[in-house]
Structure 1
Amino acid sequence: MMLKRLIPAVACAALLAACGTTGGGAGAAAKAASVATAMAEADAAVAAGQADKAYTVLKGAAQAFPTDKTPWVRMAQMRFDANDYGMAIVNAQEALERDPDDTLAHSIAAVSGLRVTSEALTDLSRMKKINGDVRSEAQDLAKLLRASLGEEELVPGGAKSRPPAKRPRAPAAQTPAKAATSATSDPFGGLR
């Protein structure tokens, strides 16, 4: 009687153990082949000029293999190349959730963030709205970037390496401070 109860329990435990194995064997090979197949299909779509199709293939691969970083890194690179920096950051962050040490994903996120920041600062400068807290925080970030990069200037060949530009005299209707602000078009001039 005891044996009749034990056989189903052992069979159930063996079945659960078989379902719980991951990693090795044919399952891992099938996964690698499927991700590799999706990457090849995405590459073919990009080569054919079908970036939307490639992105859809990669998105499907990311959903089918949620722990694999490869589709996310590739989507991040595609969005970066298309100047869609916001989505490049989002996709790079997804890759970094799967592999926090991925250098390419970190690079895409960092450079995309800098480009978004540069665009925003350029817009603010054009509207003459860089002042107060925005200006001081931008200067602090510029100092951090210089220290991180080991550079004295963020933009090599920038204002410090060029001879000073001759500024036109301020018209009588403008104050000297306003004339100096309008004479410079470099939004990062004060950040160097």
Structure 2
Amino acid sequence: MDLPQALTQARSAQEAGDVTKAAELLEQAARAHPGAKEPWLQQAQMHLEARRYGQAIVAAQEVLQRDVGDITAHSIMAVAGLRASALALGHLRQGNAVQGSTREEAQTLTQTIREAIGETVLVAPEPVQAPPARPAGPVRRREAHSASASARPLRPVEPPVARPATTGSRNPFSALQ
């Protein structure tokens, strides 16, 4: 089996919506060319797009066994891992179960991610709307008090939660390069 031809056929099958056939073609190509990273990379991208994060990570690891410096495979592993973590933490948060060492570890991981990408905030907070303008004229003592109260934030600002980003077939970390 010719590797470029197999990859093209798999891509065509995937674009036509036949993901099962695409996966079979990529598995055949991987068996026929055990040293090639391309079938595994295409599988990793396909799994990531299908939100099968565990399988995406496994396929990306196969790529890295063949090419330890493949940036796309590292990106897929990072994005798939973050998405899986975000889903799990979202479920835990709904049940108010993120406490103790789990919470501390999540905070440590968040700080590590912030440092790695050079950002202080992972997801930009929603903009706070300014209070409505008051009519001009003399301000009475009671109005001055309520105006200063409305200038204060209505609720404490919580640290942003990392949400899974939507990525198509493009490199999820291309903005960082």
Q: Identify the residue that residue 161 of structure 2 maps to in structure 1.
A: 188
Q: Identify the residue that residue 120 of structure 1 maps to in structure 2.
A: 88
Q: Identify the residue that residue 55 of structure 1 maps to in structure 2.
A: 23
Q: Identify the residue that residue 94 of structure 1 maps to in structure 2.
A: 62
CA distance in structure 1 between the partners assigned to 2:115 and 2:52 by the alignment: 28
Among the aligned pairs, what percent are the same residue?
40
1:138 aligns with 2:111: no
TM-score normalised per structure 2:
0.72
Q: Identify the residue that residue 33 of structure 2 maps to in structure 1.
A: 65
Q: Identify the residue that residue 135 of structure 2 maps to in structure 1.
A: none
Relative CO higher for 1 or 2, CA cutoff 8 Å, sep ≥ 6?
2
Q: Aligned match of 1:77 in 39, 42, 45? A: 45
Q: 1:12-51, CA deviations, whole angstroms, 9 ceiling, x for partnerless residues?
A: xxxxxxxxxxxxxxxxxxx8xx110110111221232211
- Given residue 100 of structure 2, which amino acid in structure 1 is its aligned partner? G
Q: Aligned match of 1:104 in 51, 58, 72? A: 72
Of Structure 1 and Structure 2, the greater helix share is in 1
CA distance in structure 1 between the partners assigned to 2:125 and 2:86 by the alignment: 17
Q: 1:52-84, CA deviations, whole angstroms, 9 ceiling, x for partnerless residues?
A: 100110011111111100000000000001111
Residues 125 and 187, structure 1, Cα contact 8 Å, conserved in 2: no
Q: Identify the residue that residue 136 of structure 2 maps to in structure 1.
A: none
- Given residue 49 of structure 1, which amino acid in structure 2 is its aligned partner? G
Residues 121 and 160, structure 2, Cα contact 8 Å, conserved in 1: no
Q: Identify the residue that residue 28 of structure 1 maps to in structure 2.
A: none
Structure 1 vs Structure 2 CA RMSD:
2.3
How far apart are residue 165 of structure 1 and its match? 6.5
TM-score normalised per structure 1:
0.67
**Structure 1 unmatched ranges of 5 or more:** 1-30, 168-179
**Structure 2 unmatched ranges of 5 or more:** 130-151, 163-177
Decide whether aligned partners of structure 1 residues 150 and 119 sit closer, same or farther in structure 2, where only a CA change above 3 A counts.
same
Q: 1:111-140, CA deviations, whole angstroms, 9 ceiling, x for partnerless residues?
A: 000000000110110010011000000000
